[in-house]
Structure 1
Amino acid sequence: MPVHHPSDSFEARLTDALHRTGGSFDTDRPALVTAGAVRGRRLAHRRRAAFVGGAAGVALAGVGGALLVPWGGGRPGAPDSVGGASPSARSSTPAAAVTGQELIDTLKGLLPEGKVTDTQARGTETGQGYVSAVFDDGRGKAALSVGLDRVEPGSEQAGQWGTCPDKALVPQDGCERRVLSDGSVLVILKGYEYPDRRVDTKRWSADLVTPAGQHVSVNEWNAAAEKDAAVSRPFPPLDADRLERLAAAAAWRRAVDTIPRTPAAPTAGADGQDAVSGARVLATLVALLPENVKVVSRHGEGDYAYVVVDDGKGRSFVQVNAQRNMGDEAGDLFAGAEKLADGTLVAEHQGPGDKGVEGGVMWTVDSLRPDGFRIVVSAFNAGTQHEAPTRAKPALTMKQLRAVALGDRWLVLS
């Protein structure tokens, strides 16, 4: 299975398209305007990013036995409990980084009986750990990977990893959030590699975040590769309990402890000027909706919000993204756009919805005010972005979407 860098993830590409690329308004405009859903899709697509970086080594004393770790993590015969604090966490001096081969050995020792082939790994010296393999328990080959990194305890990122994604945004067969005895949060998601389900490749994942900020991400598929491989079995090999045991193994936490620490980057919105409250974005969106639609469901997070509305002719998904300080991107995102008397730039687009959704329609109005405040509003002809259409057109007309994007109510957030 190929090793992917986090920047190759859908979320990263979408965010990059939103903030750095663009060209003319007609150049792949759906990809740019769909970036309004970055915040809402973040939970799903972070799980899609394979980790590239370093990994910590481990010598195994047999499957199910004590782990003898060469980076200061325990001693022969010492218990390797899930909840115990790792040695590096108790020490002010980080242990030496571990190798990719050691991570491979760790993974092999933690998997149930079966054949492990096509292993790849990177060590923790680069700031993240990653190991992947193809596993066959006799019921068919399955790709499997484990990623290791750090998150700031109590941060928004940690909270997102520890939250099940919204079903309206992420196709899934189920998601479960478990709190372990040591306070670690584990999210087990049974989803799909392709949101449009054009191929029935299942992706099941387990993301563990500890109170200390150690993050372990396990992904498995019911095919021998993440993409471009035939489905080889009905389901991935590890059920929810086995995913928990693999993700919660203390060996991974000790490996994370060897990842070099970097100074925390300033968070957007620390001064209250960059971030926009999801609750306020949602409230503003609802207030600007036309009177002929009924709000069936709603959600707001960060600078993103969505509602599902019904005008009596079927459900329609409507989303908005509110971003400050986007003035520098005007040349990329609004080339050739309409300019209003007050200097606001407005671009409109009518086209297909998400790739693979036959008959899907997405209508968008993108606006940028002179102070750099950007409002992107999109409506779909279905109750979610990834489901088959429930109606011919979105519930909101282009004129109504324009009224939402240019509504004066946004001024209090700009």
Structure 2
Amino acid sequence: MPTGHQDDPFEDRLGAALRQTGDTFDTDRPALIAAGQARGRKLRLRRRAAVVGGAASIALVGIAGALVLPKGGTEAVGSGPTPSAPASSTAPQTVSAERLIATLKQLLPEGKVSGAEAWGGGGVHSMPSVRLVHDDGEGGGAISVGLNRVEPGSAAAREAVSCPDKVYVPYDSCRTSRLSDGSMLMLFQGYEYPDRRVDTKLWRAELITPEGEQVSVMEWNAEAEKDAPITRAEPPLSLEELRAVATAPQWRALVPATSDGSKKAGASGKPADPAPTFTGSAVDMLVPLLPKGVKVVSRGGEGDFGYVVVDDGKGQSLVQVNVQPDMRDVANELYGGAETLPDGTLVATQQGPGEKGGAGVVMWTADTMRTDGFRVVISAFNSGAQHTAATREAPALTIEQLREIALDPKWSTQLK
């Protein structure tokens, strides 16, 4: 029987919260992706390898829906007057919605624009974003742009321009390249739904400059990313046009001066003490802890996230692990009703359907937290990938084996 929390422990909690209102509200996905990549470790409960595919789960309604703004945000505006959008040398903290719309319109090829709206950021949410529907005569397609700032060279910066692992996200093409100015650019051609239940195409460009400016551009071959009829064979911008929009210098002047994940000062006004970090490799630590009789077919991940695909002779099974230092402030949310061991460690187990739509896929999870807040979460699936159909009746590892691995004291030796 499931105990404790019931959410997928590898999903960004922000995305999970947004999905709860997915049939009612609308918000801008590129800005959320950028924010999710820059947010602190407390919210980083997602699969790093699926950062592009995870984007699909954050979307709410379509481009044409009403834009719901967080408190302190700047109101969105429709496609009214479009003043010019000259570049400036200093990025403002709040950008006018009109300027965002005008900038995107100027960068698009000839065609009809409708449903344009934008949010200029500001307040506690500093990610400007804009979206619209563009029709070049072949059918309308949604286009959306989000802006953010990340720490240069950080994990968030690397993840943003790293192609996802096909174990998690199927796609047609993905490549990352370094531009002449040192910026990194990822161009992704895939699908809105990882399980391809609807063939809505999602193409995406992700740019990270050496200064940490982040530009996320996404487009679909439908007028909304979800629950909208396919209107054209391909998204409205070719790959080269998508690249041109993402790398346009106009966006860099509109990127916030600070990131949404910037460090906060403590009550004394001094910067908070650095948080503990996991310095090892989760996948390297996972492999020796696997039970005898399972063969590792493939592996991936880095740092605090890792996965292996194993085969015990009965079919492939995906096993993934995530470790997170000091999660004590959300322990009540994660472990309500969980088992408490004599040493104070919290343990929650869960057996249920896989979240990503593969036919017959189930997910078994052991979720543990030590008294210092160090969290180790391990899940196993009865398929070699979440988005493909089940290949076996049950995962290759039992709940008891997952629990034993998650509780192994070796995990704590890499916490600094």
Q: Which digits, 9 at most, give the CA deviation of each residue in 1:221-278, with x for residues without a partner? A: 010112221111222122221111111111112232xx344794169xx97752213x
Contact 1:3–1:120 (Cα < 8 Å) also in 2:
no
Q: Structure 1 159/311 Cα, relative in aligned 2: closer, same or farther at 3 Å?
A: same
1:338 Cα offset (Å)? 2.6
1:4 Cα offset (Å)? 0.9
Higher Rg: 1
Contact 1:344–1:370 (Cα < 8 Å) also in 2:
yes
Map 1:7-86 to 2 at 5 A.
37-45=46-54, 69-70=85-86, 73=87
Tell me the amino acid that sits aligned with residue 245 of structure 1. Answer: A
Tell me the amino acid that sits aligned with residue 223 of structure 2. Answer: A
1:370 aligns with 2:368: no
Tell me the amino acid that sits aligned with residue 54 of structure 2. Answer: H
- Contiguous gaps of at least 5 residues in structure 1: 21-34, 56-66, 74-86
Contact 2:35–2:148 (Cα < 8 Å) also in 1:
no
Q: Sequence identity of aligned pairs in percent?
A: 49
**Residue in 1 aligned with 2:102?**
105
Tell me the amino acid that sits aligned with residue 362 of structure 1. Answer: M
Map 1:5-404 to 2 at 5 A.
37-45=46-54, 69-70=85-86, 73=87, 88=89, 98-123=95-120, 127-256=126-255, 259-261=256-258, 264-265=262-263, 274-277=276-279, 279-404=280-405
Contact 1:44–1:170 (Cα < 8 Å) also in 2:
yes
CA distance in 1, matches of 2:33, 2:182: 30
Give the match's secondary structure for 1:379. strand
Select between 41-50 and 168-177 the one with higher mean Cα deviation. 41-50
1:188 Cα offset (Å)? 0.8
**Residue in 2 aligned with 1:412?**
413
1:347 Cα offset (Å)? 2.0
1:159 Cα offset (Å)? 1.5
TM-score norm. by structure 2 comes to 0.77
Contact 2:30–2:216 (Cα < 8 Å) also in 1:
no
1:39 Cα offset (Å)? 3.5
Contact 1:306–1:318 (Cα < 8 Å) also in 2:
yes
1:4 to 22, 27, 51: 27
CA distance in 2, matches of 1:346, 1:223: 44
1:292 Cα offset (Å)? 0.7
Contact 1:288–1:404 (Cα < 8 Å) also in 2:
yes
1:122 Cα offset (Å)? 2.5
Give the match's secondary structure for 2:89. helix
Give the match's secondary structure for 1:88. coil
Tell me the amino acid that sits aligned with residue 334 of structure 1. Answer: Y
CA distance in 1, matches of 2:34, 2:393: 29
Contact 2:92–2:257 (Cα < 8 Å) also in 1:
no
Q: Structure 1 11/197 Cα, relative in aligned 2: closer, same or farther at 3 Å?
A: farther
Give the match's secondary structure for 2:115. strand
Contact 2:30–2:144 (Cα < 8 Å) also in 1:
no
Contact 2:31–2:147 (Cα < 8 Å) also in 1:
no
Give the match's secondary structure for 1:401. helix
- Contiguous gaps of at least 5 residues in structure 2: 1-24, 60-66, 76-82, 266-271
CA distance in 1, matches of 2:341, 2:389: 36
Q: Structure 1 191/7 Cα, relative in aligned 2: closer, same or farther at 3 Å?
A: closer
Select between 390-399 and 324-333 the one with higher mean Cα deviation. 324-333
CA distance in 2, matches of 1:400, 1:366: 12
1:170 Cα offset (Å)? 2.0
1:219 Cα offset (Å)? 0.6
Contact 1:292–1:311 (Cα < 8 Å) also in 2:
yes
**What is the root-mean-square deviation of aligned Cα atoms in Å?**
3.5
TM-score norm. by structure 1 comes to 0.77
CA distance in 1, matches of 2:319, 2:172: 23
Select between 332-341 and 369-378 the one with higher mean Cα deviation. 332-341
CA distance in 2, matches of 1:124, 1:370: 38
Q: Which digits, 9 at most, give the CA deviation of each residue in 1:341-365, with x for residues without a partner? A: 3332222221111242221111111
1:317 Cα offset (Å)? 0.5
Tell me the amino acid that sits aligned with residue 346 of structure 1. Answer: V
1:374 Cα offset (Å)? 1.8
